[in-house]
Structure 1
Amino acid sequence: MSDPETPNQPLLQAATNVPAAQRGSSSRAYKVAGFTLLACLLIAGQAMIAYFLLNQRNDIKSLEEQNSNLQAEMTRGRSVAVPMRTHMAMNALPVMDVSMDEDSSITDPEKPAPRQVTDCQLEAAGKKPVQVPGFRPSCDERGLYQPQQCFMTQCWCVNPANGKQIPGSLKNGQASCRAAVIAGETR
């Protein structure tokens, strides 16, 4: 195979037969050409990035304006109330008798007086503001707060009389509110 007269001589062997002086200058030329090509590609990439940024300047400006508008709305404290299904029994709502009888001015001792609307019922109906926007407390049939209140994925225990959170009861998921609660105190 190393016979110089063989016409099917491999290309690599033919390249090695080139004199040493020519080999050094051509490899240097290939290196310079490679580095030049690499520099051209980098410059072209930078030019493309600059072009795209200039074309998207308006988009970036409108996104910045939207961001500042949203931040301004968030700092104003205005919240959007999301309709939520309240967990309140229908008999917990006060029923008022509006019939006009001739003896309506006289109160009937056998007829129970309409119940007073509680803070829990007012908060659940959205008539009284709560500290967490969008949260509506759960009330029992007497209008007191349910011992466990939940919002999103977190639950906590409260005093049923006033709805104040019991310290240390906040949990992800269901909270265990088995402790007996007596009008204002926890045991």
Structure 2
Amino acid sequence: SRVITVLLASLALCNANRPKTHCEQHRDSLHDVPLIGAFIPQCDEDGQYRPQQCHGSTGHCWCVDSRGQERAGTRTPPGAPTINCDEPGKKQ
């Protein structure tokens, strides 16, 4: 348990020392000026855009490329099965 805690703390320190990625900058800029209902991008542990993004207020989900741009034809409405962003033709 202590080894895991030290490892996680080390990883957090390493990430704190690297420059922020585009996703992290995008996300953080929206946190600075909170707008009710605004979409906040979701970044993974490496700071890259998560392949699937979801809008918390509307319930819509979609796939994005490595730059965070929506991939055409992947948006799903609330309650619909989400698209598998690794294989956009398949629903999960």
Match of 1:121 in 2: 24
Q: Which runs of 5+ in 2 are unaligned?
A: 1-11
Q: Which runs of 5+ in 1 are unaligned?
A: 1-90, 96-113, 181-187
2:47, 2:41 → 1: CA distance?
A: 11
Higher relative contact order (CA 8 A, sep 6+): 2
Number of equivalent positions: 68
1:176, 1:166 → 2: CA distance?
A: 12
1:145 pairs with 2:53: no
Match of 1:38 in 2: none
Match of 1:165 in 2: 70
AA partner of residue 165 (structure 1): E
Q: Deviations over 1:74-131 (max 9, x none)?
A: xxxxxxxxxxxxxxxxx4x942xxxxxxxxxxxxxxxxxx2110111112122599xx
Q: What is the TM-score when the length of structure 1 is the normalising length?
A: 0.32
Which has the greater radius of gyration? 1
2:86, 2:53 → 1: CA distance?
A: 13
Q: Which has the higher helix share?
A: 1
Q: What is the TM-score when the length of structure 2 is the normalising length?
A: 0.60
2:38, 2:59 → 1: CA distance?
A: 14
**Structure 2 counterparts to residues 3-82 of structure 1, below 5 A:** none
Sequence identity of aligned pairs in percent? 31
**Structure 1 position 175, deviation (Å):** 2.7
Q: Residue 86 of structure 2: which of 163, 172, 178 is its match?
A: 178
1:155, 1:124 → 2: CA distance?
A: 17
